[in-house]
Amino acid sequence: MKEQHLVILTPHYNDNDSLIRLLENLNKHIKQRFKLIVVDDCSIDNIPNESKLFSFSKKCEIQIIYLKRNVGHQEAISIGLEYISQNFVKDNPNVVIMDCDGEDKPEDVNNLINELDSSCDVVVASRQKRSENLLFKIFYVLYKVTFLFLTGKYIDFGNFCAIKYESLKKIINYENLSIHIAGSLIASKLRLKRLPVHRGSRYFGSSKMNFNSLILHGLRAINIFSDNVMIRLGVFSFFMIIFIFLVAALSFLLKIYGLTPPGWLSYILGLLFIIFIQIVTFTMLFILVSKKSNTQPINKGFLIDYVIKK
């Protein structure tokens, strides 16, 4: 049986030491020959050491895509995916997306690839044990619960995944791919298979994403499912309005039968009116903000400055 071609895509920004360590570990754990596509997100410090990286080219082919400007982690990946879809048509490869910082473990790549079969289009690394501190883990659990409540979807994976080439050609047509990779995979309705893996430890330093960046990243995933959120918030608002009217009616009854102190009814009605206005305002605001545009996916090739191959 002919061995399936393998292309590994990793974004890079100011982290050459981790990139070299990743390549060393990939060569150690992956037995077949593979191609590594590095998307450099306009690094200004600790840039890719080409001579060091290309010294590994005896076992793998390396291509470094240099972008014209910094576009962010998710869009850098989407540009890489579009590049692969256009330049590896003859190879028809399986594609693995992974970060270069060590949190996506090279030893798990083979497992992801082996799980790709006729029953699925994408195999995602479902996070089990994490290496972050307790506070991060608590917020992550709260985020997953919020995401499930607002969208009706369950998210427990990030960028680390294996994709069939035929499925890749479909995924790159989603306009939200550059906003949130994992969210777009869920929204694509492709057949996902979850593979439990433990998150690794960073090779060097700490994450470049601060708390605000993580919150924004999470909100972008929710925004992909704005239609679902709008419906769920609408239903919630409807029942809350019914509840407000029931409480108001009960308050009037209590007042009629003289079971309330002076001024109590005015206080309750004023409070209910404020809650009613807030619910209506928030619902209408979300509808306006989440209104989808008619923008179609565009070719992001213009963001590529040049490509180095060896």
How much is the pLDDT for 262? 85
The mean per-residue pLDDT over the stretch 23-38 comes to 92
The mean per-residue pLDDT over the stretch 57-86 comes to 91
pLDDT tens string 214-249: 788 888 888 888 888 888 888 888 898 899 999 999
How much is the pLDDT for 295? 46
How much is the pLDDT for 289? 60
Over the chain, what is the mean pLDDT?
A: 87
Higher pLDDT, 204 or 97: 97
pTM: 0.83
The mean per-residue pLDDT over the stretch 203-210 comes to 75
The string of DSSP letters for 123-184 reads EEEEE-S--S-HHHHHHHHHHHHHHHHHHS----EEEEEEE-HHHHHHHTT-TTTTT-HHHH
How much is the pLDDT for 264? 87
pLDDT tens string 244-281: 999 999 999 988 888 888 888 889 989 989 988 888 88
* Cα 248 from chain centre: 44
